[in-house]
Structure 1
Amino acid sequence: MPPVSSRQLSCLLVFLAALACTFGVHAGVTVAADALDLPGVQLKTMEASIDQAADGKGLTLKLAATRADIPSMGWRRIGLAVEGGLDRDEQGRWLFEGVLRLRGTPGNALTGARVRILADDAANTLQIDLVQDRTTASVALPIDQPTHAQITLKNLPAGWLQGLLSTVWSGRATSGKVDAELALDILDRGIQTTGQFSLSDVGFDTKAGNLAGSKVSGAGRLGIDTSDAAGASIDLDASLRGGELLLGPLYARLPAHPVQLSLGARSQKGTLAIRRLRVGDPDALAVEGELTFDPDGTLSHLDLSRLDARFPAAYDRYGKGWLSALGMPGLQTSGAMTGHVSMEASGLTSFAFNTDSLDLQDAAGRLGVRGLRGGLDWSAKESRPATKLGWRSLQVLNIPNGAAEASWRSDAGKLTLQKPMSVPVLDGQLRIQSLAFDPGASRGERLQTSLVLTQVNMAALSKAFGWPEFGGTIGGAVPSLRYVDDRLELAGGLSLNIFDGFVDVTALTLQKPFSDVPVLTANIALNKLDLALVTGVFDFGNITGRMGGSVADLRLVSWTPVAFKAQLTALEGGRISQQAVNNLTSVGGGGMAAGLQGAVLKIFKTFGYKRIGLSCTLRADVCAMGGLGDARDGYTIVEGSGLPRLSVIGHQHDVDWPTLVRRLKAATEGSAPVVQ
């Protein structure tokens, strides 16, 4: 890209040469003007002078302006001063050597540059060389046509280009160096420039943060045209390596080897439309398409007509940031995929993909698929041909599923399952009777399905969730499961046949199911569970009989309980072991009823009971405890039967939830304190 100074210098220094040619070697000439218009440059409060040099050889030239405006370069209110010596060389050419000082330039460009100007009337050539620190710029232009220049730049700070960039887009250069060989034409309404360039550790960004780059290196060819009143155009063909790029939702961590980037863009009133985008990374990704950004940096249009990805390289370099933002960080990937995708500001409008074999695995185990084959083809507006998608294995929320294949069709904006499908799940089966999904919906109903679950092994499910190993099976029908906004809603219920009884789950919802903070709500009813089987799972102590109860208004955040109303009862009598008595006593923060001595308790290993009841209402991290009813100084947890007659009384009505969890953990691990 041309230096922001080249146009100004080409006009300004031609003006100095014209003064010298006009006044020859005469000294003491001063020219002042409130305003002076040169081609593309407006000077305010300008003063130029020519004096005899102190050594009598040549002239001393000075020019200063309190304000210089160069609209096509994006420069406004620039302070300018040039001072140096002018003389003729042995060939009769004018030679000026001096210092150029500018104020208020982007990136502090040319605040103290050494300048050398060679004007050759016979050859009609003006050569301008600038040096500041390690930065050099050379400009060659015809004296009679100063609007055309050939420019060579070396080690130019990218920030010096900010003025020019501001005429094309709203971003800013932040770091790095640029080398270039360019041709520049200054026109009435702007500039045209084309040429070769190379970048070293260049960075840029925008206020909205949707377009950015960091430590990008590479080389290529660039064309910029700001002369059209309808908007500025940019054409870029580059080979980039290293660093990071962000183009809306597309984030790239570029490899050390070259990545081809080609784009044609147009900027108008702050809107940036990339009409042609091609990205080629040989072992990872090939993309073709277009993007449009609104003046505030919002992505308003994306159409990637070609998307070929090879994993894991495509994920590591281009997909990691985007998928992490969607709540799927740390994927393990392999395989390949082809497809296309389009979206507007309101959301997805179409997508399709196809793969012969693709493996994806979320690091947290929430979602994973192996041997994915086939594809999907969806459009928000058009009917699309039917497709098939299958897998060798599927894992959802740590639950493994077996091989399956489904037929899909897109119509009226929804992907619909064409016929029921069965998925093996933990020795049982999940039968999906119907399923309709709207990928483009950002709000409202996004998915609706009807499910039947049969004979799922509860022990295997417990292991998948890290629970103690429960026996039995799970089964039930879900007439309607809906995904509304960002919430799963269960209509009907699940019936769990476990511990020779039933657990019924109703009113289940799951908000943000794939996020780090899912929120689950449900009501659970327990009916005739065999207490001997339940207590046999834990090292709690043995209790016989049947248990019922409920857990109402259950609310889990990140799978941790924050609220519920639990009531557990065994009302048909049975036997309870000494260990279970001790654990119930510990959980309730209570003790034995009066009259039952510790010495007697040690004699008997089990006791008869008539009823057991324990309740807990969790709110604000405090559990309000209760039992079968009020008792002296507390509430009854166990009402004894026979001799010796046992009663367990709870004395703590309000228990800190973490404390209660510790008590339960100790009780189920067999380490609760023994009552003496």
Structure 2
Amino acid sequence: MSGAAWAGLQLDIHQIDHPSFSARGVSLLLDGSAGRIRLDQFAAAGRQWRAVYLDCRRLQLDEGRIQCADARVGGVPELAGARLNLDFSTKSRSGRLTAQFADDARLTATLAAHGALDLKFSHLPVALLARVWPAAAPWHPVGALSGRASFDGRRATVSATLESAGFSDASGSHAAEALAGDVRLSAVRQGDAWRWDMRAAWTAGGVFWDPVFVPSGVSLLAEGQVSGQEVTLFSSRLDAPGVGDITAKGRLDMADRKIIEAEVSVRRADLAVAVPQFVLPVVAPAQTERWQVAGWLDLDVRWLDGELHGVEVGLDQVGFAYLGQRFRVGPLSGHLPWHRDTPAQGHLQVDGLHWQKLDFAPFLLDMSVEQGRIKVDPARLPVLDGAIIIDRLTVAKTEDGWQGAGGFFMEPVSMRALTTALDLPEMVGTLSASIPGLIVTPRRAALDGALVIALFDGYVQATGLEVIEPFGLLPRLRADVVAEHLDMAQLTETFSFGAVSGFIDLALKDLQMAAWKPVRFDASVRSTPGDYRRRISQRAVEHITALGGPSASAAIQRSFLQFFNDFGYGEIGVGCRLASGVCQMEGLEGPGADASPFTIVRGGGIPALNVIGYNRRVNWDELIARVKAAIASDAAPIIK
């Protein structure tokens, strides 16, 4: 109803001041028993509203007492749709305002003459928060609040309970539902500062903050002081499932939103709960189910003069395992410190390190920690009858994140013991290796230099080796590999290939693997030049023939076959260029037309032996299956 429609009495009041609110340009218009209260400006709780009015179904004025019953309010969006009842004395400056909302929600504000304000609220919709605080509107808050709050200028108290609350953003990546909890807050004014203490408990529901889900069961005790834009936290304690208890104290600059100084401590955090819940969803979301973590962690963090000043990490019986790779570490315990201004010394006692069936004996890692870098002292990691030696190892923070770099070598290890532990065909001899440079990041591991392995009386060298996403769903490997002077007698005995004496060289260029299966390479195997005994058994002929495709054959002088179990040879050579699942074969002559035959074994001595291949394009999976079948079979070779 417009002001012109009110034909009765009008009373103007210039202003009303109260410790809890102020009103300017107050007008009371009467028309029979009904009326309107109009305010040009109204201020409370640090906010202002203009052109506010109350349309009262019943309005009474009696010796400075204003009574407005069953009113509707305009100009205050927070109270839109509410029905109000006002009883206020301009003489004593005291009174009561009651707001009735839908679904039995109710708010009662009582003003005392000395300035005290008392608020009682029951089932108050949290959605009203979006009207009071516009930044909350996109989060679509729901739920209800019940409780009481009071303020008298020197003391303030809040006691509230939250029920069936929740929120969500437009994308759904940040949401909560079925939230419940309570909070108790009291504050006392001391000069220009407010001394406060708080108790809060989150008792039901959960919050999803992509990619982390946080369940209920969190409680907080805290006390501190607010002075201007500075908040001082004298003490606080947070209890939550899996994180033990967290204590903190410090000072914060709210204007600049920074920590001036602070200390935070975490005691007995259960990593079996905390890591899968808070860490793995962030660092390895696709691998969360593959990791198992156990043990406890202590953590101390300190800020000074607005900067992170120190971190102390304590580990107790910590262990973790990656199920897909049968990789386990732990238990391990130790102390890892970091100080901004000075280097610190840390240590890590590793009582368990396992890969496949390979078990390391306990070892100790000593390290120095300084700004942005961890340097591990040289160490010996015993394994089987040898050891892996850490010559140098540094983990540093770079522009692209954390990066590890180091050099390693392996003391000779029995191949028989190693292959048994790794479920590989049993090999003879010893293994030693040298890795002068290795670089590791969270998504990549690469050699800086060459990996050299002594094996089968020769050596294998890998260069350009890198693994992308080693723990991802599709790990990828690239490398160039060269092997020289490998003893074929040891090699063929290891893989039940038959018997071949002599030595071979191997070149594997542009090797590319996905999910640990080869998808591309250019391979060449040649007998090593030199003067040495060269013999090949009938069974080895069968297996080599399988490499030449279904039309391959072994040619030999038939009349002498019954007198020989093995044969001499002059040269062995075979190549495969793998692409798109097809192996382009070649022999001693090198590349050739698809229809042209190629020589895999060139005879030497008596009887003369040649193995000829006729199919230069062979399906890779079929080739591997054929070789496996030939090795598994004890059938006699097909001799032509």
Q: TM-score, normalised by structure 1?
A: 0.70
- Secondary structure at 2:288 match in 1: coil
Is the alpha carbon distance of 1:170 and 1:372 closer, same or farther for their aligned partners in structure 2, counting shifts above 3 Å? farther
Counterparts of 2:156 and 2:582 in 1: how far apart (Å)?
Answer: 71
In the alignment, which residue of structure 2 is the partner of 1:175? Answer: 142
Equivalents in 1 of 2:196, 2:283: separation in Å? 32
Match of 2:615 in 1: 651
Measure how far apart 1:94 and its partner are.
5.8
- CA offsets, 1:273-305, max 9 Å, x none? 99976422487422234899999xx99999763
Q: Name the SS of the counterpart of 1:561 in structure 2.
A: strand
- Alignment partner, residue 154 of structure 1: 122
CA displacement, residues 205-241 of structure 1 (integer Å, 9 cap, x when unaligned): 789999975544221224799xxxx9x9997531223
Q: Residue 221 of structure 1 is aligned with which of 177, 184, 197?
A: 184
Is 1:203 the equivalent of 2:166?
yes
Deviation at 1:453, TM superposition (A): 0.5
- Structure 1 partner of 2:278: 321
Q: Kindly tell me: are residues 387 and 92 of structure 1, through their superposed partners in 2, closer, same or farther at Cα, counting changes over 3 Å?
A: closer
Q: Which residue of 2 aligns with 1:10?
A: none
Distance 1:120 1:101, change over 3 A: closer
Whether contact under 8 Å (2:500, 2:540) holds in the other structure is no
For residue 551 of structure 2, what is the amino acid of its counterpart?
G
Partner of 1:638: 600
- Whether 1:139 and 2:112 are equivalent positions in the alignment is no
CA 1:373 to 1:215, structure 2 compared with 1: closer, same or farther past 3 Å? same
What SS does the aligned partner of 2:343 have?
Answer: coil
2:95 is matched with 126
Equivalent in 404, 412, 416 of residue 375 of structure 2: 416
**Match 1:455 to one of 407, 412, 424:** 412
Q: Distance in 2 between matches of 1:534 and 1:267?
A: 79
- Number of the residue aligned with 1:551: 508
Task: Indicate if the aligned counterparts of 1:359 and 1:372 stay in contact, CA closer than 8 A.
Answer: yes
Aligned match of 1:617: 577
One-letter identity of the residue aligned with 1:477: S
Structure 1 residue corresponding to 2:430, chosen from 473, 495, 498: 473
Output one character per residue of 1:38-74: Cα deviation in whole Å (capped at 9) or x when no partner: 9979999x9985433xxxxxx2235799x99979677
Q: Partner residue of 1:373? A: 333
Q: Pick one of 343, 354, 379 that aligns with 1:383.
A: 343
Pairwise CA distance, 1:265: 10
Answer yes or no: is the 8 Å Cα contact 1:487–1:510 preserved in 2.
Answer: yes
Give the aligned residue type for 1:61.
Answer: G
Check whether the contact 1:336–1:357 (CA below 8 A) recurs between aligned residues.
Answer: yes
How high is the sequence identity, in percent, across the aligned residues?
Answer: 20
RMSD in angstroms over aligned alpha carbons?
5.7
CA distance in 1, matches of 2:499, 2:333: 51
Task: Choose between structure 1 and 2 for higher RCO, CA contacts under 8 A separated by at least 6 residues.
Answer: 1
- Give the Å deviation of 1:390: 0.7
Closer, same or farther: CA 518–305 of 1 in aligned 2, 3 Å: farther
Residues 1:435 and 2:398 are matched in the alignment? no
CA contact (8 A) 1:458 1:470 kept: yes
- The residue identity in structure 2 corresponding to 1:133 is A
Superposition deviation, residue 611 in structure 1: 3.2
What SS does the aligned partner of 1:323 have?
A: helix
Go from structure 1 to structure 2 and tell me whether the alpha carbon gap of 1:186 and 1:299 turns closer, same or farther (over 3 Å shift).
closer
- Please tell me the residue identity of whatever aligns with 2:84: V
The C-alpha deviation readout for 1:425-452, integer Å capped at 9, x for no partner, is 24420122333333x4454884343322
Question: How far apart, CA to CA, are the structure 1 residues paired with 2:412 and 2:448?
Answer: 20
Q: Distance in 2 between matches of 1:115 and 1:196?
A: 23
Compute the displacement of 1:559 (Å): 3.1
Could you say which residue in structure 2 is the equivalent of 1:502?
A: 459
Summarize the Cα distance change of 1:363–1:174 in structure 2 as closer, same or farther, 3 Å threshold. farther
Supply the AA of the counterpart residue of 2:320.
L
1:297-376 pair list within 5 angstroms: 305-311=264-270, 314-317=271-274, 320-327=277-284, 329-330=288-289, 331-341=291-301, 350-365=310-325, 368-376=328-336
CA distance in 2, matches of 1:197, 1:210: 28
Separation (CA, whole Å) in 2 of partners of 1:635 and 1:299: 77
- CA drift of 1:528 comes to 2.9
CA distance in 1, matches of 2:104, 2:562: 93
Q: Which runs of 5+ in 2 are unaligned?
A: none
Residue 541 and residue 272 in structure 1: after superposition, are their counterparts in 2 closer, same or farther (change >3 A)? farther
Contact 1:289 1:304 in 2 (8 A): yes
Change (3 A) 1:465 1:376: same
SS at match of 2:342: coil
Deviation at 1:375, TM superposition (A): 1.3
Partners of 2:332 and 2:591 lie apart in 1 by 60
2 CA distance for matches of 1:290 and 1:518?
45
Deviation at 1:475, TM superposition (A): 0.9
SS at 1:615's partner residue?
strand
The corresponding residue for 1:626 is 586
Question: 1:302–1:570: structure 2 CA closer, same or farther, 3 Å change rule?
Answer: farther
Cα shift readout 1:78-114 (whole Å, capped 9, x = no counterpart): x987544215699997654435467995xxx655333
**Contact residue 287 and residue 304 of structure 1 kept, 8 A:** no
Structure 2 contact 549–623 (Cα < 8 Å) conserved = no
Q: State the 1:617 CA deviation.
A: 3.2
Q: Distance between the aligned counterparts of 2:395 and 2:309, measured in 1?
A: 14
Distance change in 2, residues 1:74/1:121 (3 Å): closer
Alignment-derived partner of residue 3 in structure 1:
none
Q: CA separation in 1, counterparts of 2:259 and 2:422?
A: 42
CA offsets per residue over residues 387-439 of structure 1, 9 Å max, x none? Answer: 33212112468854220012223346533334x3211124420122333333x
DSSP 3-state at the match of 2:127: helix
Q: Alpha-carbon deviations, 1:118-137, whole Å to 9, x = none?
A: 44678754322333333523
Decide whether the 8 Å contact of 1:391 with 1:403 is kept in 2: yes
Aligned match of 1:561: 518
**CA distance, structure 2, for counterparts of residue 155 and residue 426 of structure 1:** 69
- Aligned partner of 2:35 in structure 1 is 61
Q: Deviations over 1:22-46 (max 9, x none)?
A: xxxx9635799xxx999979999x9
Distance 1:521 1:197, change over 3 A: same
Equivalent pair of 1:539/1:667 in contact (CA under 8 Å) = no
| Aligned counterpart, 2:246 | 287
